[in-house]
Amino acid sequence: MNLEKLYETLDQLYDEMVDSRRHLHMHPELSFEEVETPKYVANYHQLLGHDVRTEVGGRGVVAKLVGGKPGPTIALRADFDALPIQELTDVPFKSKVDGVMHACGHDGHTAELLVLAKALNSLQDELEGTVVFIHQHAEEYQPGGAIAMIEDGCLEGVDVIFGTHLQAVRPYGEVSYRVGPTMAAADRFHITIKGKGGHGAQPHLSKDSIVVGAQLVTNLQQVVSRRVSPIEAAVVSVGNFVAKNAFNVIADTAQLDGTVRTFKEDVRDLVEKEMERVVKGTCQSADVDYEFSYLRGYPSLVNHKEETEFVASILGEVPGVEEVTESPLQMAGEDFSYYLQHVKGSFFYTGARNPEWEEAYPHHHPKFDLDERGMLVAAKCLGKVVVEYAKKEVKEAVN
């Protein structure tokens, strides 16, 4: 396939890509509540004549484009769910849904993949192999959409999978990769401390759950600092502490919720074990009862070496890419990790911070936004990956 022709087609379709992203941005839908978005995605592919499956794993959409020449089956994935955040930007295409917005770039991911599908479709006769477009629901909320879509067959016949995430805090023109562990396993925990309530003036007659909870917040920090090897990465964060009462009442119950981030399974196991030990010891020393639950979320995203090195070797040639860097470890979680447990592949980052912005707001922020040109770069990167990977596999098969 002529890559220059593919790039030219994507340039011509850029306005359509922007329009698509802005339409999705104005009509966001929460994880597991997506109705109109999958209809929009499926209709787009159906108009292109692609083989389309809907309700994959619940609300996902899978479309297939068979090239005119033999070759491997390459999957590309984009997510399309939004977040329960009230948008505070002043863009003309801001969310029309109260309390819901695309604050992680999934609208951009969807738009870039749809338009790339259209561009590849226009060059179908030259395309080597088959491209499977996986449009995933519910990336933001566990258990996520990936695992259900896999169980429903979205990876059947797929040889390799690639994906990219737009990054609003990474400069436009920069793409980043990492071999091996790249994003963290994202777990959550819930702790209920069951004390004995009483009058604030008579603490000796109660068992103060707030005091125990405060001690627990401090003690849990020692799990990472004193139980996990300093050469390993781990995070334990308490994000919610609720024990609401009148000002002069000692709370009988306190609830703590939080997250754990790790990269290796043995570290993950250690943190869970040590957290339960700390919770038990702290509560027993205060003579209070407790409940502790640890919920495992997405596993660590581990990029395959050969496929990632391949991606890194070719992205610098893509128009719009000014710098290719090695990404540091990311403590955020991503259920793209499930795909990589089943087939080889790689997940990389595409910068989308406008150089003229004084401040770039991070993902999941109510003022989050993208330099939309990053979508075009991302589409060109994925397009080059498809073309060059197919060419490499066909050549190796012949040899």
Q: Rounded to whole angstroms, how far apart are CA atoms 146 and 134? A: 9
* Helix (H), strand (E), coil (C) string for the chain: CCHHHHHHHHHHCHHHHHHHHHHHHHCCCECCCCCHHHHHHHHHHHHCCCEEEEEECCCEEEEEEECCEEEEEEEEEEECCEECCCCCCCCCCCCCCCCCECCCCHHHHHHHHHHHHHHHHHCHHHCEEEEEEEEECCCCCCCCCHHHHHHCCCCCCCCEEEEEEEEEEEECCEEEECCEEEECEEEEEEEEEECECEECCCHHHCECHHHHHHHHHHHHHHHHHHHCCCCCCEEEEEEEEECCCCCCEECCEEEEEEEEEECCHHHHHHHHHHHHHHHHHHHHHCCCEEEEEEEEEECCEEECHHHHHHHHHHHHHCCCCCEEEECCCECCCCCHHHHHHHCEEEEEEEEEECCCCCCCCCCCCCCCCCCCHHHHHHHHHHHHHHHHHHHHHHHHHHC
The total number of residues shown for the chain amounts to 399
- 139 has catalytic annotation: yes
Say if CB 1 and CB 121 are below 8 A apart. Answer: no
Report the DSSP beta bridge partners of residue 325. Answer: 176
Say if CB 353 and CB 170 are below 8 A apart. Answer: yes
Active-site option among 87, 139, 159, 371: 139
- 371 has catalytic annotation: no
Active-site option among 81, 87, 174, 208: 81
Q: Rounded to whole angstroms, how far apart are CA atoms 63 and 69? A: 18
Which residues are tagged catalytic? 81, 139
